[in-house]
Amino acid sequence: MEFAQRLLGTRRGSTILGIAAAVVAGLLLLVYLSQYRDSVSSGAQPIKVLVAKNLIQKGTPGDVIASQGLYELADIRKDQARNGAYTDVSSLEGRVAKEDVFPGQQLTSSKFGSVSSSTVSTKLTGALRGIAVPVDTSHGMIGQIRTGDHVDVYAGFNVDTTTGTQTVLRTMMQNALVLNAPANAKTGGVGGSDTSVVIRANSNQAAAIAWAADNGKLWLVLRPSVNATPAKPTLVTAQSLLIGVKPLAGVQAGVGR
C-alpha cells in the first residue's frame, strides 16, 4: 500500500514536471517567434543608402564623388544593406575609392580609405585640373580668400584690333573652387608680393588661364559662400565702361577664342 502511494506520487510529480516543461517550452517558442517576427519586420524596413550612379574609378576622391553627383540615394530593405554601407554623403569626406565601384553598387566603408583632406589631388578627377594662378596681394585678395572658397577669374590684357590696340577685361571663369590659398598676405611692392592661389578648372579652362597669366593680368573675385547667383560673362573696354559702347567686333573675336 505504501509503495503504491509512493508510485502514485512519483507519477503525479512527473506529470507536473512534464506540464511545467511543456509550458516553459511553449513560452520559449512564443518568445522565439516574437523575436523572429520582429527581426523579419525590422529587416523589411526601408532605408536609404548611397549607391554609385556612374562608374567610380579607383582613386576617385569622396569630395569629387559628392560634388560631381556620381552617387544617388537608393531605397532598399534594411537586411539588404551591406556592412558599412554609407547612408549620408558626408561620410565620403576625406575618403578615396580603393577599388572600382560599378553603377548600382553600394558605397561602403570597405571600398574607401582615408586620405588627408588638405591634399589637392583629392579634389580632382577626370578632366578636372589644379592650376596655380599667379597673383599679387591685391589682385588675388591674399589673406581674404581661403581654401574652400569659390571665386570668379578675370583677365585683363591688350588686344590688337583693326582699329589699334585695345585694353580689355574679360571673365575667364566663374565659380572656381579654391584648392589652396595663402593664409596671410605679404607686403612688398606696389600690389604686394607675387604669390599663387591654386584653383580647380577643367583642362580647357586651365589652358586659357595659363595663357592669360603669361600675357596679361589676372584678378580673383570672391563669390558669396551661399546663394551665389550666376552672372553673365563680361567683356569690358574703355568704350563700354565710359560711354556704354559695345566692344568692337574685332575685340570680341580676338578675346572670345
**pLDDT of amino acid 6:** 55
Phi, psi (deg, nearest 5) at residue 132: -85, 120
**pLDDT of amino acid 117:** 57
**pLDDT of amino acid 127:** 84
**pLDDT of amino acid 81:** 92
**pLDDT of amino acid 37:** 65
Spell 72-87 as b/e; 16+ CB within 10 A means b: eebeeeeeebeeebbe
Q: Give all domains of the chain, ordered by start, each with its CATH number.
A: 46-120 (3.90.1210.10), 128-256 (no CATH)
**pLDDT of amino acid 154:** 94
Find where cell 580668400 sits.
Answer: 145
Q: What is the pLDDT along the chain (257 residues), one digit of tens a residue?
A: 554 455 445 556 567 666 767 777 777 777 776 776 665 555 468 899 999 999 998 888 888 888 888 999 999 998 889 999 999 998 988 888 999 999 999 999 999 988 765 567 777 777 889 999 999 888 888 989 998 899 999 999 887 777 778 888 889 999 999 998 988 766 554 545 578 999 999 999 999 999 999 998 999 999 998 888 878 878 887 777 777 666 554 444 444 33
Q: How many CB atoms lie within 10 A of CB 181?
A: 24
**pLDDT of amino acid 87:** 92
**pLDDT of amino acid 118:** 59
Q: What is the pTM for the complete model shown?
A: 0.56
Contacts of 136 (CB under 8 A, 6+ apart): 142, 189, 191, 192, 193, 194, 195
Rounded CA separation 78/48 (Å): 9
**pLDDT of amino acid 60:** 86
CA angle 191, 195, 197 (to 5 degrees): 115
